């Protein structure tokens, strides 16, 4: 199946629109195919401010109303406790809220931006989506991340080269309680690093501070100015370390 056929079969859909490359391309493709699509940004403490800003920008550029659905995800069962299957409980909470709002707006079919490069494996979040009947057109149609970037660039979407960005909850080791204050610290620290030109980074919380993970291409620069970066991160973290193992470029 190709995407245009999917949208012929599902001409009225609600999209979980994160502002990332995958959901951005899916929004464009749905509109290009003539589908009636509602774009929903589920707003939680797990999403940094720039994600909502990107979602708003692209929705405006495509002439789509962005519907924001606020969710107190830390109040959902098992989420703040951060067990191994936290993502399952989180997705259940987010998509329950999204489906409720979408149904009230007249949308019975909900889709998300999972692509064919995403390894289903033992991913609790994807299991939750399957249980809830959320469809993933990119995955169903065999559209990979590389395909998304190539087609997005051709379509003129500014998200075509946007790095993948996992939610802020992934910065917490399994079993460590997720708190609003620590989420804010991670978001602020990553924002400060991105303001200096670093990309595709992660600040992983550790018992004694935070670990900065960067792609291989950015490690030499970070090593050379590490004292400055420690000072930059000091308002939020008493100790910071640089991971010598490169992150995968995304």
Which of 213, 155, 154, 168 is CA-nearest to residue 52? 168
153 is written with which tokens?
Answer: 């660039």
How far, in whole angstroms, is CA 199 from its chain's centroid?
Answer: 15
pLDDT digits (tens, 9 = 90+) for 44-60: 999 999 999 999 999 99
- Give strand pairing partners of 110: 14
Q: What is the pTM of this model?
A: 0.92
- Residue 126 makes CB contacts below 8 A (sequence gap 6+) with 114, 118, 120
- Give strand pairing partners of 12: 36
Model confidence at 89: pLDDT above 60: yes
pLDDT digits (tens, 9 = 90+) for 176-221: 999 999 999 999 999 999 999 999 999 999 988 999 999 999 999 9
Instruction: Give me the half-sphere count of Cα atoms (radius 13 Å) on the Cβ side of residue 72.
Output: 2
On average, the pLDDT of the chain sits at 94
| Residue whose tokens read 């399957």 | 130
Alpha-carbon distance of 167 to 202, in angstroms, equals 10
Task: Kindly compute the dihedral angle of the four CA atoms of residues 191, 241, 243, 232, in this order, to the nearest 10 degrees.
Answer: 30
- Residue 39 makes CB contacts below 8 A (sequence gap 6+) with 15, 17, 27, 55, 59, 64, 65, 66, 67
pLDDT digits (tens, 9 = 90+) for 154-175: 999 999 999 888 899 999 999 9
């Amino acid at each position: 199946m190709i995407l245009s056929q999917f949208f012929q079969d599902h001409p009225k859909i609600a999209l979980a629109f994160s502002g990332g490359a995958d959901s951005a391309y899916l929004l464009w493709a749905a509109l290009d195919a003539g589908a009636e699509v509602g774009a929903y940004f589920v707003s939680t403490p797990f999403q940094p401010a720039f994600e909502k800003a990107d979602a708003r920008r692209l929705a405006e550029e495509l002439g789509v109303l962005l519907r924001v659905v606020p969710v107190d995800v830390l109040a959902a069962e098992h989420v703040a406790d951060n067990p191994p299957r936290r993502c399952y409980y989180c997705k259940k909470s987010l998509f329950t809220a999204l489906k409720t709002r979408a149904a009230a707006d007249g949308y019975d079919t909900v889709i998300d931006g999972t692509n064919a490069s995403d390894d289903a494996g033992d991913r609790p979040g994807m299991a939750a989506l399957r249980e809830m009947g959320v469809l993933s057109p990119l995955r169903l149609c065999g559209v990979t991340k590389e395909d998304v970037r190539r087609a997005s660039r051709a379509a003129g979407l500014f998200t075509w080269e946007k790095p993948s960005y996992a939610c802020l909850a992934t910065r917490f080791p399994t079993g460590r309680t997720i708190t609003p204050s620590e989420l804010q610290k991670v978001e602020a620290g990553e924002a400060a690093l991105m303001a200096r030109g670093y990309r595709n980074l992660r600040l992983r919380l550790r018992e004694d501070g935070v670990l900065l993970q960067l792609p291989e291409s950015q490690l030499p620069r970070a090593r050379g100015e590490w004292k400055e970066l420690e000072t930059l991160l000091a308002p939020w973290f008493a100790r910071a370390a640089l991971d010598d193992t490169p992150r995968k470029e995304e």
